Homo-oligomer: A and B are copies of this chain.
Amino acid sequence: MVEDVERVEGGRLGEFDLIARYFAPLATEAAALGLRDDAAVLRPPEGQEIVLSCDTIVEGVHFLKDDPPGSIGHKALAVNLSDLAAKGARPYVYLLALSLPAGTAATWLEAFASGLGELQKLSGIGLVGGDTTATPGPLSVTVTALGLVPQGHAVLRLGAKQGDRLYVSGAIGDAYLGLRVLKHPALGRFWGFSDDDTAFVVDRYRRPKPRNDLALLVRNFAQAAIDVSDGLMGDIEKLARVSHGGALIEASRVPFSPAAQKALEREPALLEALVTAGDDYEIVAAVPEASARYFEAEALGKKLSVTMIGRVDGSSGEARLLGPDGNTVKLDAKGFSHF
């Protein structure tokens, strides 16, 4: 029995209706002009700078065709919120550019908008505009997010100093494991995963939690920061290189979830993949030794997980990983590259 699903094609659901039905409810800011204009008009609060982030996610590249549409809406916004958090900025407004294949079901759009709306509400950001277009290719979503930060207080990649402690939020590598078990379910059994472990790592892949709660601490304590989207070691290397430093990371200090620990125990060689695969959307912050204990105390007070994993060290422009035996772990590639 084929359901009579309303589809985005043949004029059955026009762009105007589509926007009015699914996206206008997300346009809670006055600047959005109710999404009935081609543009948004914004009056940023005085004394604030605007931080701009823009990331695209493409079906088959950044998410899977069968991922729940709500998680795709979530992810499109989350990857941008993560960039704002790394700059120490608070979420302000965003624009959504959606490229839809013909035949996208209205139910798909409804769930997509709902996932987007949930994260929007949680993070306090508002939709102010965008574009909806047809594509003969895969579904693709580009979000441009604007954040606010008091003038002169944005945290950049550049600025880490010799000896700074390097902290990472949350845990590393779960999204990689989630993607692997989605593609090869047997791996979960091999790694000794319970159903909860599997659900946990899949959720970490599909619905990364941007660390916006950490933004204020990053702003107050970090000299430099970056979000981990392309792999822990590769992103740390970007921060080190642009700061004219190097980095030394101790594998034994890298925080792993209980699920990742199970997998590592069964397959120790996974270590390299976990610290280079990306999609973590955690924050790495370079904090000077002198303020480290205040940073840790405030994070603890706010129940935010941060772990010291190494230091800015030398000027090699490289990030090195020290194994439990004290030797450098050879990494084939330090991060994900599209090209």
Q: Measuring CB to CB, which residues of chain A are less than 8 angstroms from any residue of chain B? A: 8-15, 18, 31, 33, 36-44, 46, 49-56, 58, 60-62, 83-84, 86-87, 89, 95-97, 99-100, 128-138, 140, 142, 144, 147, 149, 151, 154, 156-158, 226-227, 229, 242, 337-339
- Measured between alpha carbons, how far is A51 from B135 in the docked complex, in Å? 27
Q: Copies of this chain, how many? A: 2
State the Cβ distance, A199 to closest chain B Cβ, in Å.
28
B133-A61 in contact (CB<8A): yes
- Measured between alpha carbons, how far is A51 from B44 in the docked complex, in Å? 11
B11-A339 in contact (CB<8A): yes
Residue in B15, B51, B134, B337 whose CB lies within 8 Å of A40: B51
- Measured between alpha carbons, how far is A62 from B31 in the docked complex, in Å? 28
B39-A51 in contact (CB<8A): yes
Starting from the known contacts A14-B337, A37-B158, A61-B133, 15 additional A-B residue pairs (CB-CB under 8 Å) come to A38-B53, A39-B147, A39-B154, A41-B52, A44-B44, A46-B46, A50-B50, A53-B129, A56-B99, A58-B134, A58-B137, A61-B136, A95-B144, A135-B140, A137-B140
In the complex, residue of chain B having the shortest beta-carbon distance to the beta carbon of A89: B39
Residue in B50, B144, B242 whose CB lies within 8 Å of A42: B50
A95-B40 in contact (CB<8A): no
- Measured between alpha carbons, how far is A33 from B89 in the docked complex, in Å? 16
- Measured between alpha carbons, how far is A129 from B55 in the docked complex, in Å? 10
A54-B131 in contact (CB<8A): yes
Residue in B12, B87, B97, B137 whose CB lies within 8 Å of A142: B97
Chain B positions within 8 Å of A15 at CB level? 337-339
State the Cβ distance, A338 to closest chain B Cβ, in Å.
4
State the Cβ distance, A20 to closest chain B Cβ, in Å.
12
With A133-B61, A151-B43, A226-B38 given, is the CB distance from A144 to B339 under 8 Å? no
Chain B positions within 8 Å of A100 at CB level? 339
In the complex, residue of chain B having the shortest beta-carbon distance to the beta carbon of A55: B131
- Measured between alpha carbons, how far is A144 from B128 in the docked complex, in Å? 12
With most chain B CB atoms within 10 A of its CB, the pick from A99, A129, A156 is A99
Chain B positions within 8 Å of A130 at CB level? 54
- Measured between alpha carbons, how far is A11 from B242 in the docked complex, in Å? 21
9 closest residue pairs by CB, A with B: A137-B137, A134-B338, A144-B144, A54-B95, A142-B142, A42-B50, A40-B52, A41-B154, A97-B142
With A52-B39, A86-B38, A157-B38 given, is the CB distance from A137 to B134 under 8 Å? no
Chain B positions within 8 Å of A53 at CB level? 38-39, 129
Pull 5 A–B residue pairs with CB atoms less than 8 Å apart, ordered by A.
Answer: A39-B87, A41-B51, A42-B50, A44-B44, A60-B136
In the complex, residue of chain B having the shortest beta-carbon distance to the beta carbon of A61: B134
With A95-B144, A140-B99 given, is the CB distance from A50 to B41 under 8 Å? yes
B42-A52 in contact (CB<8A): yes
- Measured between alpha carbons, how far is A104 from B134 in the docked complex, in Å? 22
- Measured between alpha carbons, how far is A55 from B38 in the docked complex, in Å? 9
Residue in B8, B136, B151 whose CB lies within 8 Å of A137: B136
- Measured between alpha carbons, how far is A36 from B338 in the docked complex, in Å? 17
Residue in B8, B38, B136 whose CB lies within 8 Å of A83: B38
Chain B positions within 8 Å of A46 at CB level? 46
With A50-B42, A86-B38 given, is the CB distance from A97 to B56 under 8 Å? yes
